[in-house]
Amino acid sequence: MSFLQWKNEYSVGIESMDDEHREMIALINSTYDKLGSDADAEQIDDCLAEIFNTISMHFALEERIMRNAAYAEFEAHKNDHEELLDRLRDLMDDFYADPATGTKALEQSLSDWFAGHFSTFDARLHGLPEH
């Protein structure tokens, strides 16, 4: 079952960013599938590490594009990236400390967290040049 679906409102009109957004949605959904199955903590840990690494690289791409375009909201957007990474680290730490409780926290917030960023901060990137 997919908990997060691609929506047109997530598109920023920059192919490389939209492709990475779709990849992140697939990773989140894969993690949800594992959370709802008999996957062990190590498999879920691997998913979380992959999400964290993918998102970190994606944020670096977004920030490069914003800097190159002299994007006026760069600092606020970058700050949101840092807050999102901090929250993901907290979710990961909670999961490592207590997988049962951490699983519930992940199920409740992972997709909402990303969807919120996509539909607000990233939506305002529409029309920026890719290079």
pLDDT digits (tens, 9 = 90+) for 18-50: 898 899 888 888 888 888 787 788 888 888 899
Cβ pair 90, 106 in contact under 8 A? no
How far apart CA 1 and CA 122 sit, in angstroms, is 25
Q: Is the pTM of the predicted complex or chain greater than 0.85?
A: no
Backbone angles phi, psi at 37, to 5 degrees: -115, -165
Cβ pair 88, 112 in contact under 8 A? no
The domains found in the chain, sorted by start residue, are 14-125 (1.20.120.50)
pLDDT tens readout for residues 49-85: 998 999 999 899 889 999 999 999 999 999 999 998 9
Q: Which residue has the higher pLDDT, 53 or 102?
A: 53
How far apart CA 72 and CA 91 sit, in angstroms, is 31
